[in-house]
Structure 1
Amino acid sequence: MEDGDGFLFKFKGYYFYRKGIDIDFIENLDNFEIREDDVFIITYPKSGTVWLQQLLSLIYFEEHRRGTGKLQTVDQVPFFEYNFRQLDFGKRPSPRLFSTHLPYNLVPSGLKNKKGKIIYIYRNPKDVLCSYFHFGTNVILQVTSTFERFMEQFLEGRVIGSLWFDHIKGWYEHKSLFNIQFMMYEEINKDLRGSVLKICKFLGKELSEENIDAVMTKATFENMKYDPLANYDDIIKTAYGKNVKGHFLRKGTIGDWKNHMTVEQNERFDKIFQREMKDFPLKFIWDVNED
């Protein structure tokens, strides 16, 4: 193990958020016992994690759909490696739902035997970069540099989650080891109903039209942003302090990178993307008007 830039913690080549981890748990990730009906949301940071936590909570828990439940989504679908609620995962009833940013090589070995199910959400990396910059600046209060400098850190992989290119390629290239469904953030944004049905089919969950409608209503970005059970507002004040200016959920749009990146930055990013992602089969949507 080695120390990264103050708030980073590097383990087996991957950067964790130092304040949020239990080192003993991280060292023993491979031995975590996976159950057949475990479900993992896997994302690179700022790629729709909270949205999927909300969707899974709504799909699995009737009280969440009806608005009668009191548990926040982070308690229904806790972060795996950042267990800041100090939950005993072994005592959680099945099916257990988790969210994680882990790369393919650090997840428990049980998942590699196609035990459990994984939903991998990916988002166009320009919007990931811009969302990450705002999050680092206004929420975790760790980014004090310019957007230009943060872009360099992002492209070097010197951020929580390490290098975006490695994360998505690692998971895709090793998909045969896992029971995994890839979904695009922009696809969920453009076709929420179709995405909910796709997720339900993969998970083997059958919901009535009434329940699908309830999921749809509560899972819109605007409704979620103002839902105290889903928006993380009280959690970030507890975790990051009272000086937090921003929110976990900011815009949730497609193409916001156009409001941040200069022509030169965009050209540099495109050149690196084309080099790193040559022949990569998954498609990306860069603008809200793209099909």
Structure 2
Amino acid sequence: MTTKENESSSKTEEHASFPNEFNGLPVEIDYDGAGLPFPTIIVDDHTFLLSVTKTMVPGGNIVEHVQTIRNIIARDDDVLICTYRKSGTHWIWEIVSMLRKGKAEYDTKVKETAMLEFISKDQIEALESPRNLNTHFPLRMLPKDLLDKKRKIIHVMRNPKDVAVSMYHHFKSMRAGVGTVYSGTFSEFLALFFSLELGAKGGWNKYVRDFETFAKDNLDYPILNLYFEDIKQDPKREITKVAKFLDVPYTEELITAVAERCEFENLKKANHEIKDDFITRKIAHDGRQFMYRKGTVGDWKNWFTVAQNELFDETYERWMSGSELKFKFSL
């Protein structure tokens, strides 16, 4: 029989298995509902999962890598896709890639091959132009030269309830060593989401609000703000917006073809049959594909209790006070 004393001892042993610091930064240990450690490190008020950092960041030194990214040199035709986690990054990256090629065709490469978090300076410089870069980094971590030269940014936002549900399943599907990154319940994960243990300090709300403020304060900056829900509701309309923003030639036939190829189930199938999905091989639990789950709007209704929804709504009102952003929680 497991006692509280045994549980406490187990947690202490688990805690001891992690270093107190990583790359000179303190390692913060939280615990999921199963009593398993959930270690993170914070760089410039941005939270990184320790397991993913050690596995995916070039050289494993996140401090040096963040500085490297800030100092990369922009090219004239660079486009940067920015999203908070689980907000449609793969989706919009595929749309942008097809539009810039002028062909509704899948490439074998996945968007992580151009994701700032996971590629080295040499790999960034080796990318062929035009570069469709992407990142979950907050605004304050973006390459300075890219911002100074006003390279185009596409920012996609998703309602935070669906983000929370999608993140929960995402972390449950990722492995850290022999176990999963997160082993707790959704209720316990939602508590972490509320306490801002995940993502940028200030969480989802700070991420999207920083971009909103930036766009208002820099009216001449070429930034396109899109909503995940709008793309889902009327993909051809939103894809046309992207084509116009990118200033690429397009036809109604191309827009229709891109919309069809970028439907969720088609992207999921392509990821399995065509893409070189090295992410799945490297960090997926039991090797299962985990980047594409449902891609729907309103799945949160299957996970939130009435009490959780009421608390979330109250918190959301505080987060978005004074904001002009309008999110759809169902279609």
- Normalization by structure 2: what TM-score? 0.79
Gaps of 5+ in 2: 1-24, 30-37
- For residues 166 and 146 of structure 1, the distance between their equivalents in structure 2, rounded to whole angstroms, comes to 25
How many pairs align?
283
How far 1:244 moved relative to its partner?
4.3
Give the corresponding residue for 2:191. 152
- CA drift of 1:62 comes to 4.7
What is the CA-CA distance between 1:95 and the residue it aligns to?
Answer: 1.5
Structure 2: how far apart are the matches of 1:66 and 1:31?
33
Unaligned runs of 5+ in 1: none
- 2:67 is aligned with what amino acid? E
Summarize the Cα distance change of 1:143–1:218 in structure 2 as closer, same or farther, 3 Å threshold. same
Question: Which residue identity does 1:9 align to in structure 2?
Answer: I
2:72 to 22, 32, 35: 32
Asked if 1:108 is matched to 2:143, the reply is: yes
CA shift digits 1:203-237 (9 cap, x unpaired): 11111233222212211111111113798784333
Select between 108-117 and 187-196 the one with higher mean Cα deviation: 108-117
Matched, 1:46 2:82: no
C-alpha RMSD of matched pairs (Å): 2.3
**1:55 aligns to what?**
95
Q: In the alignment, does 2:27 pair up with 1:3?
A: yes
> What percentage of residue pairs aligned between the two structures are identical?
30
CA deviations 1:101-121 (Å, max 9, x no partner) are 011111111233252111000
Instruction: Look up the SS of the partner of 1:102 in the other structure.
Output: coil
Moved more, 225-234 or 256-265: 225-234
Query: Structure 1, residues 30-55: CA drift from partner, whole Å, max 9, x if none?
Result: 21111232101100000001111111
The 3 A distance-change label for structure 1 pair 234 and 280 is: same
Matched, 1:78 2:114: yes
What TM-score, normalized by structure 1, do the two folds share? 0.89
| Structure 2 partner of 1:269 | 312
Contact 1:40 / 1:99 at 8 angstroms: preserved in 2?
A: yes
Greater Cα radius of gyration, structure 1 or 2: 2
Q: Answer yes or no: is the 8 Å Cα contact 2:26–2:41 preserved in 1.
A: yes
Q: Say whether residues 1:92 and 2:127 are aligned partners.
A: yes
Distance, in Å, in 2 between the alignment partners of 1:275 and 1:232 is: 41
Q: Hey, what's the Cα distance between the residues in 2 that align with 1:109 and 1:259?
A: 41
Aligned to 2:170: 135
